Amino acid sequence: MNERPTEPYDPADPATAGEAPVTPPTPGAPSTPSGQPIISSVPPPASTTPAAPPPVYVAPTAPAVVSTTGDSATPVDPAPFAAFSPEPDRVDRDRATWQTPVQPTPEAWFEPAAAAATVSASTATTSAGSGGGRRRGGGIIVPVFAAALISAMLASSGTYLVLRASGALDQPAAAVSAPIGQTTGVTQPIRIDESSAIIAVAAKVGPAVVRIVTSASANPNDPTATEGIGSGIIYDKNGWILTNRHVVSGSDTLQVELKDGRRFEGKIYGIDTLTDLAIVKIEATDLPTAALGDSSALKVGETTIAIGSPLGTYSNTVTSGILSATGRTIETDTDTINNLLQTDTAINPGNSGGPLLDAGGNVIGINTAIAANANGIGFAIPINIAKPIMEQAVAGQKLARPYLGIRYEMLDVQRAGELHLSVTDGAYIDVTQDASGQAGDAVVPGQPADKAGIKAGDIIVSIEGQAIDTEHPLDSVLTQFAPGRTVTVGLLRNGQKLEVQVTLGTRPADLTP
């Protein structure tokens, strides 16, 4: 039977606390063939530093049990020995491997709980003081960790270079909407920019928007006198105001009120003969003005802002919406108005004559009508149609519109198919009915078109190179030219293209639009 080393018992040593001391063998006790006792105490190897006690190994077989019968002792077969084998502790395995000589692996081993705690604590002390197994294991882990870290850094650098080269890192961050009741650090640019634009426009243009109060009788004591209220926009600092024809038409007196509280007597300078516009003049200088935009460059869906006096009471009210459509035609109680802008910006009675603005605060239209049987459907006259008469007024000229002397209808795909025409765009000259339902000549005798040789059945396809189509209707294009100017008119006659020179006349004042 091989000998197994065991730890000597020391009452002061925590590693052996609670264990019974080893009793020296008595004479006559069983011994190995060499005459040595079965259990012997082997001192630990000398060391310059205190070494933690190694695991206690127990022999796989038990020593012989002596049975006594009377005065004689008779050896008997040993009883079966039950061994317990817990999962080895990593710290103890390392310490046993590096600090103790290699021992034959037993079939089973047992380590008391108290000893295990002591061994673990001792192992940490030994590793820190003498460079035991844990330090050696760390020498392997550190290079592996360093290699993994370097690999990760190289991979991250490569990814960054690829994203930078593709431009992905230069793209702006998308706006993120925060749930209700929560906040987020991500800016929502569309909402904030739109709100800021409306605030800026209100501050910039508001002082140039006026309230116009009209009276239909010069005698204020006249019980039949009627009063109306509308809006207007100052476009020249010397008192020139643009408004609607229906706001001032038929009035005897006008009172113009500014946002700062000043009031002036106004006079009607002129009434537009083409559409629902009028020019009012007040005697004042250095007035706030609004900038004019370009209604031909508008895009459906862009922000629109209205400022006016809805219901005649709430002066300088600001509302906003979008441009819903362009080129609308509506029928009013008195006439037909063409080429209108449609918006869902709130427009109410009293807003008439006030400006429709873009997000930059530029006037793009003059609010003129609403759909009575619907909500969110308002109409404005494009500012480009108003510009010629605005300039005429400042120059001291009489308001005048160009005139061809023809009756026509604008073509589209459906109408061109019904008339069996070879083109789908243009102004088709034909006999039509006027506002009173009376049929008239397609080409008015003695007027500019007749003098230039234009005939019924011709299709006007361009003026001065500008194509005539649904987005550029004939009357809208004509307004850009002053009466008396000679223009080149492109025609389509019996499938053949030709051009004629036409000197524009002046539109009669009694001619309905």
**Catalytic residue numbers, as ranges:** 246, 276, 352
The answer to whether the beta carbons of residues 312 and 352 sit under 8 Å apart is no
With a CB cutoff of 8 Å and minimum separation 6, the contacts of 122 are 15, 51, 52, 53
- Alpha helix segments (H runs only) across 167-257: 189-205, 245-248
Give residue 292's identity as a one-letter amino acid code.
L
The answer to whether the beta carbons of residues 459 and 427 sit under 8 Å apart is yes
CA–CA separation, 383 and 428 (whole Å): 26
Query: Angle at the Cα of 357 (from 355 to 362), degrees rounded to 5?
Result: 105
CA–CA separation, 347 and 191 (whole Å): 22
CA–CA separation, 15 and 131 (whole Å): 22
Give residue 133's identity as a one-letter amino acid code.
G
The answer to whether the beta carbons of residues 368 and 349 sit under 8 Å apart is no
CA–CA separation, 202 and 194 (whole Å): 12
Report DSSP state, residue 419: T
CA–CA separation, 427 and 196 (whole Å): 43
SS3 state of residue 229: strand
Report DSSP state, residue 393: H
| Pairing of β 486-493 and β 65-69 | unpaired
- Alpha helix segments (H runs only) across 100-132: 113-130
With a CB cutoff of 8 Å and minimum separation 6, the contacts of 146 are none
Report DSSP state, residue 469: B
SS3 state of residue 326: strand
The answer to whether the beta carbons of residues 439 and 433 sit under 8 Å apart is yes
With a CB cutoff of 8 Å and minimum separation 6, the contacts of 363 are 205, 233, 235, 290, 291, 292, 293, 355, 356, 357, 383
CA–CA separation, 448 and 335 (whole Å): 24
Would the CA dihedral through 492, 400, 228, 225 be positive or negative?
A: negative
CA–CA separation, 75 and 81 (whole Å): 17
DSSP string, 472-507: B-HHHHHTTS-TT-EEEEEEEETTEEEEEEEE-EE-
